[in-house]
Amino acid sequence: MIGIVGYGSYLPRYRIKVEDIAHQWGKDPETIKRGLLLKEKTVPGIDEDTITISVEAARNALKRAGIDPREIGAVYVGSESHPYAVKPSGTVVAEALGIVPDVHIADYEFACKAGTEAMFVSYSLVKADLMKYAMGIGSDTSQGAPGDALEFSASAGGSAFIFGKENVVAEVLETYSYATDTPDFWRREGAFYPLHGGRFTGQPAYFKHIIGAGQAILEKSGFKPSEFAYAIFHMPNGKFPLTVGKKLGFKKEQLEPGWIVPLMGNTYSGSSPTGFSATLDVSKPGELILLVSFGSGAGSDAFIFKVTERINEVRDRAEKVKDMLENNRIYLDYGQYAKFRGKIIMAE
């Protein structure tokens, strides 16, 4: 059996409410809350970035796995906000976890699906018997330009998954990936904020790729939507995942535990992985879970997991996503938020 032997997440404690962003730019908060189904989003502390978030998420995954970190053969960090343009995030993460030096390290990028890419490669290496354990992390401190629609959603957080063959918590039953060249969202080297193709981000990008990957993995596996306890789809806002879930034949109850975007925002590479982590937090042995990510550019990675008895042993070894979302929140006003996110031009 090959699958996840440990999982963990991390969300910063800082938040900003949709109202505060809307007031800043003279927009009607109720229209935005209704349109995007968002209430608030996480904001990284001044001393947090993709690397620190990855370390905290990975520490929680290690607590649940209960393994010697030195047995992990690969560490892959997927993000679109790696702190360095040149110098890997993964080396700092692996060093902090005590995994170095006998380890393969790489950083992944593919807009919001870099996290599931890291998971897919980790799973594949374990399946190929090249290593005992491999860890895939999806984590981001996403930025949206001031006043842009993305500013309401772009948030921070991440999740880590250790793949292995012993003491599996969630077995991988099937995987499928689907990708095309689609210019829906991009950021050129050196540009601070990403740009997007407006309405172009919906139908030809998000929906086409998630439905493409979703339908293909259902067909390949032979499972029907009704056989799944839960499904998680990438969450750029509150509405898209509910719509795509419905189109694929899933009910809202199946999406509920992983649909954490109203309180979390869109954590980009950490979005669907953290929804999956929140779902594992409440799942029971024998349940089937569908996970489909989406990354602009564009592509989707799909996974089918089957939860094992082991979940009951590891679940309480680390903090759950729901607790991170609901406890210890510190609210920022727009001015504090602008300072935290480096949006204020300081004297040199």
Partner 1 sequence: MPSPRYWRETPQRYRLEAAKCKQCGKISFPPRLVCLGCGNKDFDTVKLSDKGKIVTFTTICVAPTQFTEEAPYSIAIVELSDGVRFTTQVVDCTPEDLEIGKPVKIVFRKIQEEDKTGIICYGYKAVLT
User: Binding residues for partner 1, per CB under 8 A?
Assistant: 12-14, 45-49, 51-52, 55-56, 59, 83-84, 92, 95-98, 328, 330, 339
Cβ partners under 8 Å of residue 46, min gap 6: 339, 340
Q: How many CB atoms lie within 10 A of CB 209?
A: 30
Two tokens, residue 87? 């110098």
Burial class of residue 284 (count of CB atoms within 10 Å of its CB; 0-12, 13-18, 19+)? exposed
Closest separation in Å from C-beta 63 to partner 1: 10
Closer to partner 1 by CB, 128 or 347: give it: 347
Closest separation in Å from C-beta 222 to partner 1: 43
Closer to partner 1 by CB, 102 or 219: give it: 102
Nearest-5° Cα angle at 174, 172 to 179: 120
| Sign of the alpha-carbon dihedral angle for 151, 153, 159, 163 | negative
CB 246 within 8 A of CB 233: no
Instruction: Cite the active site residues.
Output: 80, 112, 234
Closer to partner 1 by CB, 68 or 309: give it: 68
Closer to partner 1 by CB, 56 or 287: give it: 56
Closest separation in Å from C-beta 229 to partner 1: 32
In sequence order, the β-bridge partners of residue 300 are: 178
Closest separation in Å from C-beta 339 to partner 1: 7
Closer to partner 1 by CB, 27 or 70: give it: 70
Q: How many CB atoms lie within 10 A of CB 184?
A: 23
Closer to partner 1 by CB, 102 or 309: give it: 102
Closest separation in Å from C-beta 177 to partner 1: 31
CB 113 within 8 A of CB 234: yes
Closest separation in Å from C-beta 52 to partner 1: 5
CB 258 within 8 A of CB 278: yes
Q: Measured between alpha carbons, how far is residue 210 from residues 227, 290, 298 in Å?
A: 19, 12, 10
